[in-house]
Amino acid sequence: MKLHLLRFESGREATIGALFDVTNGRKFLCFVLEDQFRQQKVKGETRIPAGTYEVRLRKEGGFHANYSKRFPKIHLGMLHLQNVPNFTFILLHCGNHDEDTDGCLLVGDSANFDAQGDSWVTNSAVAYQRVYPPIAAAAAQNNCTLVVEDYA
C-alpha cells in the first residue's frame, strides 16, 4: 500500500493535511493533524520532516495496550512510522487537537480552522476505524509506505 500525506495548512499550533491511498490512483482517506512546523525541534511540539517512511506494526507500549481494548475487533498493533529522523515512536492514532500529539499523526473526518490560527480534526475514532484495517493489513505484510509532502 502506498500512502501520501499532503500537508496543506500550517497554523500557529498545528498542521493539517490530507491522507490518500495512492496504490491504484488517488483515494482520499481522511484528514491528518500534526504539530506545527519548527525550524528547530521542540520535543512534543514539532511535526516530523517531510519524507518517505515505512509503516510497520508496533505491538508493545501503552498505546498498543489501550487500542487493543478500545478497538478489539480490528487492532493488530499500532501504525508506527519507521526511521523518522530525530524522532522516535511516531504513530498514526486517534486525537482531535495538537495537545493530543507529541509528533504523531492524528486522523479525523473533518478539518476545522478558526480566526486565531488554530486548527483541529473531528470524528477521529470514526476515521481511525475506517482507515486502520487496510493500512494495518498492508503494514503486517511489510508492504506499506507513507510519503509526507509539504504544500504549506
pLDDT in tens, 61-80: 999 999 999 999 999 999 99
Regions of the chain with pLDDT less than 70: 152
φ, ψ dihedrals at 45, nearest 5° = -135, 15
Reference 55, options 131, 127, 130, 138; nearest CA is 138
pLDDT at 49: 97
User: What 8-state DSSP symbol labels residue 150?
Assistant: E
pLDDT at 46: 92
Grid coordinates belonging to 53: 517512511
Q: pLDDT tens for residues 16-28?
A: 999 999 999 999 9
Parent domain of 9? 2-137+145-150
pLDDT at 119: 94
DSSP-derived secondary structure for 48-84: PPSEEEEEEEE--SHHHHHHHHHSTTT-SSEEEE---
Number of separate domains in the chain:
1
